[in-house]
C-alpha cells in the first residue's frame, strides 16, 4: 500500500493542476469581488460621521457664499431635480413599453437606470430642502414630513 502512496505523491504534479477546482472557478477573484461589493454596500447604507460639526451660517462663511449665491444654487438644484425626475419618468415609460414587447431583461435594465435617475432627483431635491431650511444635516424623515406638511397647507389654502 505504501508503494502506491509514494507513486501518488510522485505524480501529484500531473494530476494536481487538473483537479484544482478553485483555480478553475477563479475563487480568489470571486472572493475579492464579493468582498468589494459587500464593503461598497456597507459604505452606501451606513451613514458616515461628519468630521467637523458646523452650522449653516459657518458653512456659508467657510464657502464664501451669500444669500444671492444660495438662491442661484437653489434654482440650479431645482432645475436638475426636474430634469432627472422627467428622465426617470420617461425611462419608466420606456420600460413599460419593453415589458409590453416581452423584452424582460431590457425592461429590468431600464428600471435600474430609472432608479438611478430618481436617486439623483432625490439628491437635488434634498439639497434644495436643506437650503430652504438653512440647516445642514437634515434627515430624510424631516424632508418627508416637510413634504407632507406643505401639501396639507396647499390643500387647506384652496
Instruction: Name the one residue in this structure whose C-alpha cell is 425611462.
Output: 91
C-alpha cell at 92: 419608466
Specify the higher pLDDT residue, 12 or 112. 112
> Which residues fall within 8 angstroms of residue 50, CB to CB, at 6 or more apart?
137
Specify the higher pLDDT residue, 45 or 120. 120
Q: What's the pLDDT score for residue 158?
A: 46
Q: Are 95 and 111 in contact (CB under 8 A)?
A: yes
Is the model's pLDDT at 19 over the cut of 50? yes
Q: What's the pLDDT score for residue 134?
A: 82
Query: pTM for the complete prediction?
Result: 0.61
Portion of the chain with pLDDT greater than 70, in percent: 74
Amino acid at each position: 500500500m505504501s508503494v502506491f502512496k509514494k507513486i501518488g505523491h510522485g505524480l501529484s504534479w500531473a494530476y494536481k493542476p487538473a483537479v484544482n477546482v478553485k483555480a478553475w472557478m477563479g475563487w480568489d477573484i470571486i472572493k475579492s469581488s464579493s468582498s468589494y461589493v459587500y464593503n461598497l454596500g456597507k459604505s452606501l447604507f451606513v451613514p458616515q460621521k461628519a468630521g467637523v460639526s458646523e452650522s449653516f451660517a459657518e458653512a456659508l462663511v467657510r464657502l464664501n457664499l451669500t444669500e444671492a449665491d444660495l438662491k442661484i444654487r437653489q434654482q440650479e438644484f431645482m432645475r436638475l431635480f426636474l430634469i432627472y425626475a422627467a428622465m426617470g419618468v420617461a425611462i419608466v415609460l420606456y420600460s413599460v413599453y419593453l415589458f409590453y414587447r416581452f423584452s424582460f431583461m431590457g425592461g429590468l435594465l431600464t428600471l435600474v437606470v430609472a432608479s438611478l435617475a430618481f436617486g439623483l432627483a432625490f439628491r437635488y431635491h434634498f439639497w434644495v430642502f436643506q437650503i430652504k431650511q438653512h440647516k445642514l444635516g437634515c434627515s430624510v424623515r424631516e424632508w418627508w414630513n416637510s413634504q407632507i406638511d406643505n401639501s396639507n397647507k396647499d390643500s387647506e389654502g384652496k
